[in-house]
Amino acid sequence: MKFGSPQNPLAPRPPYDPPYDSPYGWMRWLPAVVLGLLALAGLIIAGNVVLIPLLSSLALSYLLNPVVIWFEKRGWNRASAVLLTLTAAMLFLILVLLFVVPNLWEQITVSIQHAKELFTEQRANQFITKLKQVNPRLATGLQAAFDMARKQIPQMSLGWLQGGLTQIVTFTSSLLDLLLIPFFVYYLLADYRVMMSHLERLVPPRFRTTAGTLIHQISDVLSTYVRSQLLIGFVMGALYAAGFAILRVPMAMTLGLLSGLLNFIPYLGTLIGFVLSIAFLALDGAGFARIGGVLIVFAIVQSVEGYYLTPKLLGNKLNLHPLWVIIGLVIGGNLFGLIGIILAVPFIAIAQVLLGFLEEIYQESQFYRRARTELLTGSGNPVNLGSFDTALASEPLITPASATGKAPRLIITTSEIESRLRDSSENNDPAENL
């Protein structure tokens, strides 16, 4: 056993706790990081039954909290404001389910029926006859394809309807899990201040200012992202709807708003809206001119979004690299399905703020910034450089004040140290040459 201080040599030495100015001080954060990762892994392993409703409830609570605050400022108490906000949100959802979804389903079934009418023998023969005059070999291949399509379309449509019914049954069974969301949202909103106050008390007083700044940054990024994406989605939806109406796309208003709001999911949302629009046009028997018009509409609206709406509303607050966005979408989709895809970008934004905060802590740490106070010479004698403000950097030996805006300081580079050590290897006091 090792013993303690000279005042009490028999006392056991306390466990090693690296000081804050130690190069190993960052190790004190390892237990918290490991426990956090283990807790996250446990939630994922536990299954999506509780995790997906909880994540959805947190997102909805964050979206609805400003509405609750708006009612509170007008004299409503917290519980009544939460109840009124939830009632309005559920009524809006019911209206969407009653009017938008049935119309969309009806249009899909009509389009499938119209597609069967398009692939008639008379139409196919007319097209093949014209094509034989241009390319006989291609006409022969298309003749076989038309014959196969005419036989397969009735079976495909029946399969799609059966698959749709299966999905409806699956969705209905999952509604039992989704019923948890309103209860979660209510209690999260009603007890919002109590929970935040409790979390604040758990933070050590010396870290509360830093934690408050970090939470404010995360809230600022999320609120800016959500408000901007909703506004961008509605503007793009209106532009899409206007363009689709001019081109006589079936269900122009619904498809336009859907294409705009799907912009909430980067890349994938635009692709889904584009494919749906082209599919409805093709099933409606549109020619190449109308399909080309849809391409032009998407190009114009995407240009307006990329060059005006996003820079104007988001600016540089959410400067996410496309690679990380795609990786986040893939991971979120694999882990949590559609909910994971929708929440991927907000979570990536939060991760970016946290990583920036950790990077700032690391760069301000003694491990990163401390001067090199000991250098070993070739003979093994230490060289004390504690009296110098030193740093290892690829800079000139002396940095003038005009270059840094600060007082001149001595910068010892790696190559300079090696050169001086070689020159002073035979000197008893090498620090004099440095």
Domain boundary among 202, 230, 262: 202
Is residue 93 a part of any domain in this protein?
yes
Residue with tokens 């009632």: 87
Q: What is the C-alpha separation between 255 and 193, in angstroms, rounded?
A: 40
Q: What are phi and psi of 433, to 5 degrees?
A: -75, -20
Is residue 425 a part of any domain in this protein?
yes
pLDDT in tens, 372-415: 444 444 444 444 444 444 444 444 444 444 444 544 444 445 55
Q: What are phi and psi of 425, to 5 degrees?
A: -65, -25
Q: What is the C-alpha separation between 369 and 204, in angstroms, rounded?
A: 25
pLDDT in tens, 274-329: 888 887 777 666 677 888 888 888 889 888 887 888 777 766 666 777 788 888 87
- End-to-end, the C-alpha distance of the chain in Å comes to 43
Q: What is the C-alpha separation between 15 and 17, in angstroms, rounded?
A: 6
User: Which residue type does 230 have?
Assistant: L
Largest CA distance in the chain: 107
> Could you tell me if 296 and 304 are in contact, meaning their C-beta atoms sit under 8 angstroms apart?
no
Is residue 91 a part of any domain in this protein?
yes
Is residue 108 a part of any domain in this protein?
yes
Is residue 287 a part of any domain in this protein?
no
Q: How many CA atoms lie within 13 A of 394 on its CB side?
A: 0
Domain boundary among 180, 202, 224: 202
* 384, β-bridge pairs: 374
> Could you tell me if 409 and 431 are in contact, meaning their C-beta atoms sit under 8 angstroms apart?
no
Is residue 258 a part of any domain in this protein?
no
Q: What are phi and psi of 374, to 5 degrees?
A: -135, 130
DSSP state of 392: -
Is residue 213 a part of any domain in this protein?
no
DSSP state of 12: B
pLDDT in tens, 329-369: 788 777 777 777 777 888 888 888 888 888 888 887 777 77
**Domain total of the chain:** 2
Q: Distance from CA of residue 50 to its chain's centroid?
A: 21
Domain boundary among 173, 202, 231: 202
Q: What are phi and psi of 405, to 5 degrees?
A: 75, 5
So what's the pLDDT on residue 335? 74
Structural domain range at position 134: 46-202
Is residue 70 a part of any domain in this protein?
yes
**Which secondary-structure segment (H or E) carries 14?**
none
pLDDT in tens, 152-199: 555 555 555 555 555 555 555 556 667 778 888 888 888 888 888 888
